[in-house]
């Protein structure tokens, strides 16, 4: 989750280039930009890490289903927050809108100045004459 924050923030900054936009995306961006929710997520994460030893000792004598339900209930806020961040981070963007220079074809004058001029398939031998292939019958 923590590794997706910066990527999701960058994606939110280019939200005008999202291929599919809807109100769920805008809600997820609002969750991402909320500093209060980010702080609450960080504190809750630390709280759960500290709670693990107590949970193990308390839930060990209980039936397995109670342990699983208890863990899922404790993880529900983190799963919700993570799904919102992931929703923003995994949006498809129109790269041509963000980086148009990647998709523009260079003009012939630009390719000659870069040394990418017209390419030929003619090979030359050591004497500087065009190479010929023998014709097989």
Residue 122: its pLDDT value, please?
52
pLDDT at position 1, please?
Answer: 77
Look up residue 97 and give its two tokens.
């809108």
The reported pTM is: 0.63
**In this predicted model, which residue has the larger pLDDT, 108 or 40?**
40
**35 band by pLDDT with thresholds 50, 70 and 90:** very high
Residue 12 vs residues 29, 81, 136: alpha-carbon distances, Å? 6, 16, 63
**More confidently predicted of 10 and 131:** 10
């Amino acid at each position: 989750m923590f590794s997706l924050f910066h990527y999701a923030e960058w994606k939110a900054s280019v939200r005008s280039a999202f291929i599919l936009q809807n109100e769920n995306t805008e809600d997820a961006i609002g969750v991402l930009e909320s500093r209060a929710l980010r702080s609450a997520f960080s504190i809750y994460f630390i709280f759960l890490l500290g709670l693990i030893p107590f949970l193990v000792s308390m839930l060990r004598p209980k039936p397995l289903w109670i342990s699983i339900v208890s863990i899922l209930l404790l993880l529900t806020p983190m799963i919700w927050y993570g799904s919102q961040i992931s929703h923003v981070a995994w949006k498809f963007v129109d790269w041509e809108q963000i980086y148009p220079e990647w998709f523009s074809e260079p003009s012939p004058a630009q390719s000659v100045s870069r040394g990418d001029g017209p390419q030929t398939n003619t090979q030359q031998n050591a004497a500087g004459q065009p190479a010929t292939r023998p014709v097989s019958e």
